[in-house]
Amino acid sequence: MEIPGSTVHSADPIPDAFPVEESNRDPNVFLSIGTLIPDDELISEKPFLKDIIITERTSFLDIDKEKHIPSSPTAKKGICFRVGIAFLALALVAAIITLSLFLTRPSTSTNTTKYVYQPKTIVYYWTVSNFIQNLDGVPRFTLGVNGRPSFESVIEVTRGDRIILHLTNNLTVPTAIHFHGLYQRGTPFMDGPSGVTQCPIAPNQTYTYNFTTGDIDGTFFWHGHYKQHYVDGFKGPMIIHDPNDNHVDFDASPSATYSSEAMLLLSDWYHEQSEVLLERYLDGAINPDGIEPIWDSGLINGIGQFECTKNPNVTCVQQEKQAYVQTIGVGETIRLRVCNAASFAAFLFSIDGHSLTVIEVDSVDVIPYTVDSLVINIAQRYSVLVTANQPIGNYLMRAVMYHGDPWTATNIMPVGMNPTVTAILNYNKVLPAKAPITIQPLQNPSILIDTNLVPSEPKQPPPIGANDVTVLFEFEFTTKGNDTYQKAYPSVSTLKDGKWDLHFTNSYTPLMGDFLLNQAWEHGSQWIPEAASNTIFVKTGQVVDIVVRNDDAGEHPMHLHGQSFWVMDMGVANSLASIPRTYPNKNPVRRDVVSITACPYDDNGCLPGNATGFSGWTAPLNGTNVNALPEATGGASNWFGYAVLRFVADNPGIWLFHCHIEWHIAAGLVMNFAVGVPEIQQLSRPGVANQTCSSLNQWSLKTRK
Ligand SMILES: [Cu+2]
């Protein structure tokens, strides 16, 4: 078995250019479209909204005005930015508006007084289209926003703000977007999943997403939630700032203070279109073993490095930039918001020579916890503090994609596949000739697991009682009987009088559920929620436990929309009865994506392993020396991976619970929680929702002809 670190070393492509000074776009600056107007001036149908100024809005530019100024004399501002000359006039107008808002705020100079933030409304005008982009050296048709790569479209607001996002669809197929990690309290129609909370937006139509952040802040991302648009690049960063962030206040948090920040959006990247890949994956005749499509390379903030020299059949074109560069001042501490926006890959993230202090997980602040690397599965987010305490130089930030059996279900990789994507942590913009990029790959990474994390604001999960709901979600992947297609077979039962009552199994949901399709697309305005597939109905106020049982040989990142859950327990077990049902931890980690471990295994299948606690991530980073695995359930034992997740159903809406591996969504690894149907029906459904369904109807009638 290879040592993971050594594999990483040999596979690393070193970016051969260092383009900070050559660029006309500073790599530290995300570009986004947005403008600020006070919340009390906003009425959604006001005509002046059409006339508001749209300006290039530089991410992180506004941050320092929004939050406490660090009182430590050692704190430094590390962010620089550049605004194109054509936008100077518009930027000036925006600055005056921002400044006038700023000047009306209460003083932030004392640490004893909480800063009272006046929420604003941020308006975005986005148009999605499909055009050729060169993200990793191999140009391909890729979805983008306003003619630029999606990764540059940052939603960046402060807790309490309202977000109005006008999304115009310039594609030839429908689309929709989801704001990952947002609760959408009172606005479940704005959550985004096609066929669950909205009809997808027909070509040439506009949908207006209009919602507030509610009471959460932290690191999020937005992404397409129609078919596999996410795989084709339709995704970007989303940040909600805490107006009273202790971590920027040296006196409040002396051991974990940062003075600048950036987001690192990690992704895997495919050279083929998702439609082609999906067709091949689902076809049981071509792909009887259900092997998921494997990426060609990875991206950090939309920039990757495919190994062109290893694949003569691919035409490569020099990119504008070969790697994302993040500048940091000497001695400075930066908050890096790391998000895995991949379709299939789990990442091991590290920075040569630097430790990572975790302060946030999926929007929940945690007691600082220092590691040398992070395992981050799909749709998970971690904020880490990194201090520039090493000799001045350039250090590689490495994101390595777990690959080989069991991660990728095969050891055969696409030709030229690069499992490592790198970015550069650059001290004070030193040039590479003076300070060469270091190469110090990790040899034995320390692995962060959920049970290491302790929320800094304790929140005890309520007990689950006889009138509450316990759901068992089990799944396996197979082609069964006469099925032609590869399918996930989730089966869902609820616990009644100590017995499992099976609700559905073998369900195949090619899209998501079909709530609104029933409501308005297929059945006019009549709502027939019972007709929706894979759905468990929950009353408002009930406590819900989801027991997830993973009978598959791979890890699965399970995501719940509409709320976070407590991770009550996770591990491996050989019977449902042996899963503990009492939990001593009064403050378990809360998050919205949990990676359900595969069982420890050998050639005969699952092994007992450490049955009393989580033993996840047991497979090596590069599993290529591991023998092919039999199906876990067909092995010598009945061991499986599990997690118990608890939430309070106090947010009426239709909330998806699904695996965030995009191929598995398509295979049907999806269910819905319908929370508080009577309360949902009392919510006023925005007019745009009905319009979108009728436009979709017209479009589909037209295309059927
Ligand atoms: Cu999955």
Per-residue pLDDT reduced to its tens digit, 155-165? 999 999 999 99
Comparing CA positions, the residue from 119, 123, 120 lying closest to residue 209 is 123
Distance, CA 128 to ligand 1 centroid (Å)? 27
Please give the Cα distance from 272 to 259 (Å, whole number).
Answer: 40
Please give the Cα distance from 619 to 598 (Å, whole number).
Answer: 9
Q: Are 296 and 138 in contact (CB under 8 A)?
A: yes
- pLDDT value of position 25: 29
Distance, CA 87 to ligand 1 centroid (Å)? 44
pLDDT per position as a tens digit, 236-274: 999 999 998 888 877 777 778 999 999 999 999 999 999
Distance, CA 661 to ligand 1 centroid (Å)? 5
Q: Are 459 and 647 in contact (CB under 8 A)?
A: no
Residue 592 is which amino acid?
D
Please give the Cα distance from 430 to 411 (Å, whole number).
Answer: 40
Distance, CA 665 to ligand 1 centroid (Å)? 7
Averaged in consecutive runs of 10 residues, what is the pLDDT profile of the chain (705 residues)? 26 29 30 33 28 31 32 30 36 44 37 76 97 97 97 96 97 95 94 84 95 97 92 98 86 82 98 94 85 96 92 89 92 97 94 94 95 92 96 91 80 89 87 69 71 92 93 79 67 83 61 38 36 77 94 87 95 82 92 84 50 38 35 51 94 92 86 87 78 82 72
Distance, CA 476 to ligand 1 centroid (Å)? 10
Residue 71 is which amino acid?
S
- pLDDT value of position 568: 94
Distance, CA 664 to ligand 1 centroid (Å)? 5
- pLDDT value of position 441: 67
Distance, CA 488 to ligand 1 centroid (Å)? 9
Comparing CA positions, the residue from 44, 61, 200, 55 lying closest to residue 125 is 55
Q: CA dist 600 to 405, 454, 605, 620, 639, Å?
A: 13, 26, 8, 11, 8
Q: Same topology for domains 4-161+213-448 and 469-680, yes or no?
A: yes
Distance, CA 556 to ligand 1 centroid (Å)? 4
Distance, CA 557 to ligand 1 centroid (Å)? 6
Distance, CA 246 to ligand 1 centroid (Å)? 36
Fold type of domain 4-161+213-448: Immunoglobulin-like (2.60.40)
Please give the Cα distance from 485 to 159 (Å, whole number).
Answer: 44
Domain spans, the chain: 4-161+213-448, 469-680
Distance, CA 573 to ligand 1 centroid (Å)? 19
Distance, CA 328 to ligand 1 centroid (Å)? 37
Comparing CA positions, the residue from 98, 383, 375 lying closest to residue 220 is 383
Distance, CA 343 to ligand 1 centroid (Å)? 10
Distance, CA 550 to ligand 1 centroid (Å)? 9
519 φ/ψ angles, rounded to the nearest 5 degrees: -70, -50
Place of tokens 């392993």: 609
Distance, CA 347 to ligand 1 centroid (Å)? 15
Q: For 469-680, which CATH superfamily applies?
A: Cupredoxins -  blue copper proteins (2.60.40.420)
Distance, CA 397 to ligand 1 centroid (Å)? 27
- pLDDT value of position 619: 45
Please give the Cα distance from 566 to 459 (Å, whole number).
Answer: 9
Q: CA dist 324 to 30, 138, 578, Å?
A: 11, 17, 47
- pLDDT value of position 578: 83
Distance, CA 384 to ligand 1 centroid (Å)? 26
Distance, CA 391 to ligand 1 centroid (Å)? 42
Distance, CA 451 to ligand 1 centroid (Å)? 21
Comparing CA positions, the residue from 655, 659, 602, 611 lying closest to residue 632 is 602
Please give the Cα distance from 25 to 87 (Å, whole number).
Answer: 13
Distance, CA 290 to ligand 1 centroid (Å)? 12
- pLDDT value of position 205: 96
For strands 206-212 and 162-169, give the pairing.
Answer: antiparallel
Alpha-carbon torsion angle 138, 142, 146, 152, nearest 10: -60
Please give the Cα distance from 147 to 231 (Å, whole number).
Answer: 18
Distance, CA 370 to ligand 1 centroid (Å)? 29
Q: Are 126 and 163 in contact (CB under 8 A)?
A: no
Distance, CA 14 to ligand 1 centroid (Å)? 32
ipTM over 0.95: no
Please give the Cα distance from 472 to 464 (Å, whole number).
Answer: 15
Distance, CA 477 to ligand 1 centroid (Å)? 9
Please give the Cα distance from 67 to 44 (Å, whole number).
Answer: 28
Structure tokens at 193: 């999943």
In 520-617, where do the E strands start and end?
535-538, 543-550, 556-560, 565-573, 590-591, 593-596, 601-602, 605-606
What one-character DSSP code corresponds to residue 667?
A: H
- pLDDT value of position 385: 97
Distance, CA 507 to ligand 1 centroid (Å)? 15
- pLDDT value of position 107: 36
Distance, CA 237 to ligand 1 centroid (Å)? 23
Please give the Cα distance from 302 to 323 (Å, whole number).
Answer: 9
- pLDDT value of position 482: 56
Residue 55 is which amino acid?
T
Q: Are 471 and 494 in contact (CB under 8 A)?
A: yes
For strands 297-300 and 347-351, give the pairing.
Answer: unpaired
Distance, CA 408 to ligand 1 centroid (Å)? 11
Distance, CA 82 to ligand 1 centroid (Å)? 41
